[in-house]
């Protein structure tokens, strides 16, 4: 099974990116999983304009990479009770490739009160692309970190997330 991990934070010290890298490490330890790590910091995606942007080389590459995957991990910081604009833009440009496939979420936020903020995107993906949303996601706040080190609680959530993603993803990919 091939899993595409999309790290959408443009911040070099991003905690959502650190979680995405940890998920990549754990998934690569599984013999049956191949991972494509897509870091939006390394892609100069154009803003979706409903037209010419779809033909941009970076947009075409993103489409190709998402099309090749069987499941997805979307990692994003939470800004103003929502995922970041870079992730929304990437979905506008290439989200149709996720149709009928499994999607899981990793989120890093400034506070615990926006833990449900990923749900509007999850609902949109379910309605627009008929994705299957993994019923487990990882949400972390600053108190879950000591510098660049995640707490055991977040580490445990990531373990559970990876297990659920791989198990359900394998069943759906058959």
**In this predicted structure, what is the pLDDT of residue 69?**
97
Global pTM value:
0.96
Name which of 8, 3, 5, 1 is nearest 92 in CA terms: 8
**In this predicted structure, what is the pLDDT of residue 31?**
83
CA torsion, points 160, 165, 167, 169, in degrees to nearest 10?
180
Distance CA 158, CA 33 (A): 16
What is the mean predicted confidence (pLDDT) over 74-95?
Answer: 96
Q: Which domains does the chain have, with CATH numbers?
A: 2-173 (3.40.50.360)
Judge whether 137 and 105 are in contact, CB under 8 Å. yes
Res. 43: pLDDT tops 90: yes
**In this predicted structure, what is the pLDDT of residue 173?**
77
Q: How many CB atoms lie within 10 A of CB 166?
A: 18
């Amino acid at each position: 099974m091939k899993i595409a991990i999309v790290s959408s934070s443009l911040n070099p010290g991003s905690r959502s990116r650190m979680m995405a890298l940890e998920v990549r490490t754990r998934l690569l330890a599984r013999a049956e999983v191949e991972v494509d790590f897509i870091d939006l910091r390394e892609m100069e995606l154009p803003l979706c304009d409903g037209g010419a942007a779809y033909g941009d080389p970076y947009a075409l590459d993103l489409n190709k990479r998402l099309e090749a995957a069987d499941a997805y991990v979307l990692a994003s910081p939470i800004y103003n009770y929502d995922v970041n604009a870079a992730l929304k833009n990437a979905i506008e440009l290439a989200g149709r490739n996720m149709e009928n496939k499994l999607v899981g979420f990793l989120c890093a936020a400034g506070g615990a009160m926006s833990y449900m903020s990923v749900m509007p995107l999850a609902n949109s993906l379910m309605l627009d692309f008929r994705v299957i949303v993994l019923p487990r996601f990882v949400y972390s706040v600053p108190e879950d970190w000591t510098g660049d080190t995640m707490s055991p609680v977040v580490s445990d959530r990531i373990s559970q997330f990876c297990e659920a993603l791989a198990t359900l993803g394998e069943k759906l990919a058959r």
